[in-house]
């Protein structure tokens, strides 16, 4: 299901950043994140929107554009918070 790949995607991005504290925090709340995704991704276009955001983040990382990757992830998280 998308919620498990969503959580895995965010973990992979965290691991790329080589921030042991952030990665450990992510792993500590992975169960809650998966549950939260199951609920939040049911709302309207949330799943397709999340997928588009992930594509933007992935593309920026693949192109080695960290500022663009940061902006793409920031836009994704801000939309989820809204």
Average pLDDT over residues 25-51: 82
Per-residue pLDDT reduced to its tens digit, 60-71: 999 999 999 999
Whole-number pLDDT of residue 68: 97
Asked whether 41 and 3 are in contact (CB, 8 A), the reply is yes
Average pLDDT over residues 43-52: 85
Per-residue confidence band for 59, with pLDDT thresholds at 50, 70 and 90:
very high
Average pLDDT over residues 25-49: 82
In whole angstroms, what is the distance from residue 59 CA to residue 48 CA? Answer: 16
pLDDT at 22 over 90: no
CA dihedral 4, 28, 20, 57 (to 10 degrees): 30
């Amino acid at each position: 299901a998308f919620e498990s790949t969503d959580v895995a995607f965010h973990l992979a991005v965290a691991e790329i950043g080589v921030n042991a504290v952030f990665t450990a925090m992510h792993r500590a709340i992975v169960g809650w994140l998966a549950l939260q995704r199951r609920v939040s991704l049911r709302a309207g276009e949330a799943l397709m929107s999340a997928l588009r955001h992930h594509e933007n983040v992935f593309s920026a990382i693949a192109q080695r554009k960290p500022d663009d990757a940061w902006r793409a992830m920031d836009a994704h998280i801000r939309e989820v918070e809204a």
